[in-house]
Structure 1
Amino acid sequence: MTKLKVLLLSCILFPISAWADVVDSCGEKVECIEIGRWDVGIALGYGNRTNPLKDYDDIPIYLVPTFAYYGDTWFFENGNFGYTLSEQEKFTINLTTSLSSDSAYFHRWDPSNIFIAGTNKFEPRSLLSSTAPTPTILKAAQEPEIGELEKRHFTYFGGVEAFFYTRAGTINLSLAHDLLNVHQGTEAKLKWLYNLAIEDWKFELALTLDWKSEELVDYYYGIRPGESRYWSQAYQAKSALNTGVELTSHYVITEHWDLLFLARYTQIGDEIVASPLLNEDYTSTFFVGAAYRF
């Protein structure tokens, strides 16, 4: 089985986040968020986030809000806060918070299912990418059933991130730890982004490696004894590495209106796929519609 079969969708449009072109400058065709003012946008359309959890519904997306404010050194975007430690021509280093993406599968109104645009002061975290169909994970016949799941709570992550700007794109490194002492887990990400502007079209391609610690994997995908005594012993959580590809593009209609389509594909790590809670080894998201920036 191919580990990552991805069919990228074309014509992907998203105006809400600030864009940087291949030379990281702000010009007539590239919008940057002004320091000292709120940047507010809303997108209306239709989208869907597939849920790899067994017996959990996919998550429909009809509205995508964006709220952002940038000061000289601190910033707020879509529920996350950050502080810039160093900003140079070749790199930027921030202290920042981030949302828990794994809790989104368990809760329909999790913040990650609302602010799907993500957050990023210096490079837009373009959403989503599309994928070719991936076979459903086959489980052994007549496995012991799992009872009603205990609640998996949302948490905030806090840590440090760095951006390195090169001619071949931007490299983003981040390391974050559970701030609310929910699972005491850690996440580390490596992301490569490349932006291209062609007249009124803006495109961004991103490749992502997302490492999750054993504590994080066990909290969300492990089985408690009260849920299944058999599976609490049979499945032993380990740290996992998810891989992803993203493509974002948007087309500017007017100063305030854009057309949009967003897509993301994530191949879930084998250590998570082994959990009896999952029946798919991937998750994908798309959104298509129109966006207004105030």
Structure 2
Amino acid sequence: MPYFLVLLLSASLYSGAVFANAPTSCDNNTDCIEVGRWDLGFSLGYGNKSNPLKDYKDIPIYVVPTLAYYGDSWFFDNGNIGYTLAEGENYTVNLVTTFSHDSAFFHRWDPSNIFLLSNGGNQTAISSVRSTFSSPTVEEPAIGKLENRNFTYLGGAEAFIYTRFGIVHASVAHDILDIHGGLESKLKWFYNIPLDKWNFEFAALLDWRSDEVVDYYYGVRSSESLYWNQAYQAESALNKSIEFTGQYVLTQNWNLLLVARYTDIADEIVDSPLVEKDYTTTYFVGAAYRF
């Protein structure tokens, strides 16, 4: 599913909610959304989203809401709007919109972070940089205050393929607000294992970004550093992630919830002087309530 952090957690809360061919009625203990009815819920607990940017703070997680509605064709899912073009027993094809996620590392109140409480904001400048070149005698220039890296809205198409070995989700989307004019594509496999009151979901994700996306968020503007503007040249990048979601049913409305994700950041992004780590992690432990 293309939605993370409000995004990953909300989707993980009710995995399977993204399928437009939902049953016409849902038991409160099942992971589905009833067609023609608003689905509301929230999670309370604690978690953390690590920030790979140098001198930027991690993002703590305390409350994660979910808001979704699925009609016969149109659907709304945590800020994402979609329309089902075709569906069958083994597939679904949608037109869909979604938020960008790289901007969330730069802005505490980015839409992807808006429901996450924090004790402090991100830093506004990079005071020093991680070196991508070996030089024992020359100190490389620091980067000054960063210009804004804005969020944008993506629009495109997605397809779900349902097999006995899990579900395959593929999507491609373009920047429809022309913030960076780039393209993103995802390929995800996930598999559910229900065991009595337990439900476990395992997932693997390939997340590709065009060079326009990488350059906009991780490239260095000439106003920030002439040296690094020339030294770092952005290229398209492929991030790789694994995810785990565990749920335990307590009552009709309450579940215990554990979500964990690890992302291996592509070398093309790690080479940026703005980036300090070659990975990012997200976890959340808490209780989920569904109205």
Q: What residue number does 1:73 align with? A: 73
Per the TM alignment, residue 13 of structure 1 is displaced from its structure 2 partner at its CA by 11
**Does the residue aligned with 1:225 lie in a helix, a strand or coil?**
coil
Q: Point out where structure 1 has 5 or more consecutive residues left out of the alignment.
A: 1-11, 117-136
Contact between 2:131 and 2:140, CA under 8 Å: does it hold in 1? no
CA contact (8 A) 1:96 1:161 kept: yes
Confirm whether residue 247 of structure 1 aligns to residue 264 of structure 2: no
CA contact (8 A) 1:13 1:259 kept: no
Asked if structure 2 preserves the Cα contact closer than 8 Å seen for 1:158 and 1:176, the reply is yes
The residue correspondences of 1:53-72 to structure 2 (distance < 5 A) are 53-72=53-72
DSSP 3-state at the match of 2:13: coil
| 1:126 counterpart residue number | none
Amino acid in structure 1 at the alignment position of 2:184:
E
Give the SS at the match of 1:224: coil
The C-alpha deviation readout for 1:62-119, integer Å capped at 9, x for no partner, is 1000000010001001111000000100110000001111000001121222479xxx
1:102 aligns with 2:102: yes
Q: Once superposed, which parts of structure 1, at least 4 consecutive aligned residues long, lie more than 3 Å away?
A: 12-16, 24-29, 137-141
Query: What do residues 234-273 of structure 1 show as CA deviations (whole Å, max 9, x unaligned)?
Result: 0000000000000101101001111111111100000000
**Local SS of the residue matching 1:111:** coil
Q: What amino acid is aligned across from residue 198 of structure 2 in structure 1?
A: W
Q: Give, in angstroms, the shift of residue 16 of structure 1.
A: 3.2
Deviation of 1:143 (Å): 2.1
Alignment gaps of 5+ in structure 2? 1-8, 117-129
% of aligned pairs identical?
60
Corresponding position of 2:119 = none
1:221 is aligned to 2:184: no
Structure 2 SS opposite 1:271? helix
Q: TM-score of the superposition, structure 1-length normalised?
A: 0.84
Q: Which residue identity does 2:222 align to in structure 1? A: P
| Counterpart AA for 2:164 | R
Matching of residue 170 in structure 1 with residue 193 in structure 2: no
CA distance in 2, matches of 1:115, 1:190: 26
Map of 1:48 onto structure 2: 48
Whole-Å separation in 2 of the counterparts to 1:282 and 1:244: 9
Q: Following superposition of structure 1 onto structure 2, how do residues 123-134 of structure 1 map, counting pairs within 5 Å? A: none
- 2:62 maps to amino acid: Y
Distance (Å, rounded) in 2 between the aligned partners of 1:114 and 1:13: 13
User: Is the contact between residue 92 and residue 164 of structure 1 (CA under 8 Å) also seen in structure 2?
Assistant: yes
User: Counterpart in 2 of 1:235?
Assistant: 232
Closer, same or farther: CA 138–145 of 1 in aligned 2, 3 Å: closer
Residues 114 and 248 of structure 1, relative CA distance in 2, 3 Å threshold? farther
How many residue pairs get aligned? The number is 260
What is the CA distance between 1:19 and its match in structure 2? 4.0
- Of the three residues 134, 143, 148, the one matched with 2:145 is 148
Pair 1:180-2:177 in alignment: yes
Q: 1:161 aligns with which of 131, 153, 158?
A: 158
Cα distance between partner residues in 1 of 2:11 and 2:245:
7
